[in-house]
Amino acid sequence: MSGPSGTAACPCGGGAYAACCAPFLRREAWPATAEQLMRSRYTAFALGDAEYLLRTWHPRTRPERLELEDRDWVGLEITDRVDGAEHDMMGIVGFTAHWVAGRQPGSQTERSAFVRRGGRWVYLAATPDAE
């Protein structure tokens, strides 16, 4: 999977791509925190890497296949973090992901649940909104 080159910014906004999400999308490392996994999954959406998204999805909730929508992902804001550190077993990351499809901008706001499976963080599901 190719991505931004050199010192180009990572799509997730976490710094230079080479030092941020590239090791995860190149399958050289696994994210150490739930937020790193969430950022790398956003980057996978931005780069069109459906295989990475499926690979990092809990098997209980993972779809059989994933068709990525034709949109340009243009920004990520982390809005909340609950647990999800290196030694936690569960975590929640809230975010707003911004996109453009054609000339139409949009965004997706979600709180995602992550769990450790076999010592690795995986995406479980979107959490219900609290009332």
Residue 89 lies in a domain: yes
Residue 6 lies in a domain: no
Residue 5 lies in a domain: no
CATH number of the domain where residue 91 is located = 3.10.450.50
Of residues 71, 113, 73, 115, the one with CA closest to residue 96: 73
Residue 34 lies in a domain: yes
Residue 121 lies in a domain: yes
Question: Residues 30-53: pLDDT tens digits?
Answer: 999 999 999 999 999 999 999 999
Task: Find the domain containing 104 and state its range.
Answer: 17-126
Question: Residues 53-74: pLDDT tens digits?
Answer: 999 999 999 999 999 989 999 9
Can you give the pTM of this predicted structure?
Answer: 0.93
How many domains does the chain divide into?
A: 1
CA pair distance 23, 30, nearest whole angstrom: 8
Residues 6+ away with beta carbon under 8 Å from 109 = 79, 94, 95, 96, 97
Residue 33 lies in a domain: yes
Residue 41 lies in a domain: yes
Residue 12 lies in a domain: no
CA pair distance 44, 23, nearest whole angstrom: 12
Q: What are phi and psi of 3, to 5 degrees?
A: -155, -165
Report the pLDDT value the prediction gives residue 3, as an integer from 0 to 100: 74
